[in-house]
Amino acid sequence: MKITAFVLLAFAVLLAQPAAAQPKVAIKLGDNLPDRSNTWGAVVEQINAEFKAANPGAELVTESYPDQPYQQKIKIYATAKQLPDVFKFWSFTSLLKPLVNGGFIEPLNPSDFDKLDYLTGALESNVYNGKLYGIPVSADLWVIYYNKKLFKDAGIEAPPATIDELIATAAKLKAKGIVPMVTDGKDAWPLCVTFDQLAWRISGDATLPRKALARTARFTDPVFVQAAKELVRMIKAGLFQDDLMVSDYGAARNLFGQGRAAMYLMGSWELGLGADKTFSAEFRSNVDAFKFPLVAGGKGKVDDLFAWYGGNYVVSASSKNKALAVKYLQFYARRFPALAWEKQAALPAQKVAARPGDTAVAKTLLRIVAEAKATSGTPSLDLSSPRFKDDIENAMRELASGLISAEEFTQKIDVAADKASRR
């Protein structure tokens, strides 16, 4: 009798549940922006909040790691077939192409995105086999950020225009106890980008790395040897932090943001430095950027801009909620440029208009883009296979640590390019 009463009661409770308890649809997001309260991470959080408000049934679960661990995590997720539904990745042949070839990425409908004011060539950077696989989010320029106050304190009047002038700043800054320049040496890719940049400044020809990868030129050609020597000269002159080769992205960025280093060699995705409340107001008001200096006697021009579209967002082909994932991506593409610019968090791959309240560094980056006469496209380390990327990064670590000569470095990457072209 008691059991019957209990069953009836249970039914009554079940029936009394409000019919409105509609199950939420969750999509998993992944990105390399662990700081969710500042700059880019905060922009994504706002986009997510707006998306959830517009789609009450949607639940968004974000997983975030620093840059390099994030890339590794995505590769592990791909191996384990557990990719997030929508995730940030890089458009490169070395990173996105293997995922596209493996059938992990959902092709997108270009008409969903082609009216969203993307800069010339931006969407095309995500096209493989004639299909659009991702949406670009940032326009990436290779620049040097600097702290105007630290420059002034050390008696440096203007940003250096040549590598010789850049090296000359090192002694002045060191005399004041300031690290002249920082970058992420541990991960080696910033040094590889700088190597490409130097080769272009020397030769005036941005296509040489592509030709070397296609084996119509050689990485052992004098231009590349000279570029490697210039890079070694910069390191040996004490331009970079002493622990360059074990200093990762966060460590380098913090040294600059905390006013311990005067310059930061990095891409325009760090535009948010001018608005990052992690750092002091004094730093934010003094941070600016300048064009990568010229090499004396080189054929490159100051307005040859090393620029590419790297960061992008893709949808997993195995997403169980593909329609919602694509809807999120469309929403992101519409909201990102305005919000990113409003918060001065990133230089979007879509057109933005200058505003009077823009930070100094944002104004400078816009000016650098406007003054560009030629652009490079993707750095060579990302134009080939993952193996080539690993090989050139390892060779760069050896070069920058003083373990091999410039000639040996170029021979190593030439062998790597040879292997990559044969696979």
Partner 1 sequence: MSARGPFGNRLVIAALVVPGAAVLVFVLVVPLAFSVYYSLTDWAGFGDYQRIGIANYREILTDDPVFWRSLRNAVVLIVVTIFVQNPIAFAVAAILSHVSARLSRVLRTIYFIPAALSLVIVAKLWVDIFNPNFGILNKVLIAVGLKALAISWLSNPHTALGAVIWIIVWQGFGWALLFFYAGLMTVPRDIIEAARIDGASVFQTYTRVIIPYLAPVISAVIVIDVISSMKQMELIYLSTGGGPGQLTQFIGVYLYQKAFVAGEYGYGNALSVVFVVVAVGLTVIVQRVLRAVPRDEG
Region 157-196 residues binding partner 1, contact defined as CB under 8 A: 179, 185-186
User: 86: which 2 tokens?
Assistant: 């929508």
Quote the radius of gyration of the chain (alpha carbons, Å).
24
Residue 16: partners with Cβ closer than 8 Å, 6 or more residues away:
none
* 403 touches partner 1 by CB under 8 A: yes
Least gap, CB of 144 to partner 1 (angstroms): 19
Task: Kindly tell me which of 216 and 258 has the beta carbon lying closer to partner 1.
Answer: 258
CB of 73 to partner 1, least distance (A): 9
Determine the interface stretch with partner 1 among 36-44, 342-350, 353-361, 382-390 (rule: CB under 8 A): 382-390
In the complex with partner 1, the residue whose CB is nearer, 46 or 394, is 394
Contacts of 7 (CB under 8 A, 6+ apart): none
Structural contact between residues 132 and 126, judged by C-beta atoms closer than 8 angstroms: yes
> How far does CA 399 lie from the centroid of its chain?
23
User: Residues 97-136: x/- map of binding to partner 1 (CB under 8 A)?
Assistant: -xx-xxxx--------------------------------
3-class SS string, 178-229? CEEEECCCCCCHHHHHHHHHHHHHHHCCCCHHHHHHCCCCCCCCHHHHHHHH
Contact 278, 289 (CB under 8 A): no
Q: What is the DSSP code (8-state) at residue 165?
A: H
* Minimum distance, C-beta of residue 169 to partner 1, in the bound complex (Å): 17
Contacts to partner 1 from residues 261-280, by CB under 8 A = none
- Say which amino acid occupies 149: K
The distance of closest approach from Cβ of residue 83 to partner 1 in the complex, given in angstroms and rounded to an integer, is 9
Tokens 């106050």 correspond to: 149
Q: Which of 385, 412, 413, 417 binds partner 1 (CB under 8 A)?
A: 385
The CB-of-63 to partner 1 minimum distance in angstroms stands at: 16
Q: Pull the structure tokens for residue 325.
A: 């994932």
Of the candidates 78, 168, 232, 338, which one interacts with partner 1 according to CB under 8 A?
Answer: 78
220 binds partner 1 (CB under 8 A): no
Separation CA 58–CA 48 (nearest Å): 10
| Residue 397 beta carbon to partner 1: minimum distance, rounded to whole angstroms | 5
Q: Are strands 86-90 and 179-182 parallel, antiparallel or unpaired?
A: unpaired
Q: What is the nearest approach in angstroms of partner 1 to the Cβ of residue 246?
A: 5
- State yes or no: residue 389 binds partner 1 (CB under 8 A): yes
Binding residues for partner 1 (CB under 8 A): 71-72, 75-76, 78-79, 98-99, 101-104, 179, 185-186, 241-247, 255, 260, 385-387, 389-391, 394, 397-398, 400-404
